[in-house]
Amino acid sequence: MTDEAKRVIGKIIKVSDKGYGFIVSKEIPFTRIFFYWTSLNQETSHFTELKKGDEVEFTPITIEGKGVRAIKIDVLEPEKDEGDDSLRIMNDK
């Protein structure tokens, strides 16, 4: 097993309706990280709301013969860009 204290950020690449999915992370290159829906923080995330591209924070563990698994998964809120002018409507009068 890897150090359970280390949290990693990644993105969901697949969510199956059978209760599992895969994550990729720059911090663990060339690895599809498996997760079960039961590994989600149930207070902040629900499996039915997960979608491809969601950013998550998790603890990776290595299971001998199985590879890397994600546990203690939290879905991260997208950052809002307060300085984005593209949503403002300008009136030229």
Q: State phi, psi for 39 to the nearest 5 degrees.
A: -85, -5
Give tens-digit pLDDT for 69-91: 999 999 987 665 555 544 444 44
Q: Are 60 and 28 in contact (CB under 8 A)?
A: yes
Q: What is the pTM of this model?
A: 0.73
Q: pLDDT digit string (tens) for 21-80?
A: 999 999 999 999 999 988 888 776 666 678 899 999 999 999 999 999 999 999 987 665
Query: 59 and 4 in contact (C-beta within 8 Å)?
Result: yes
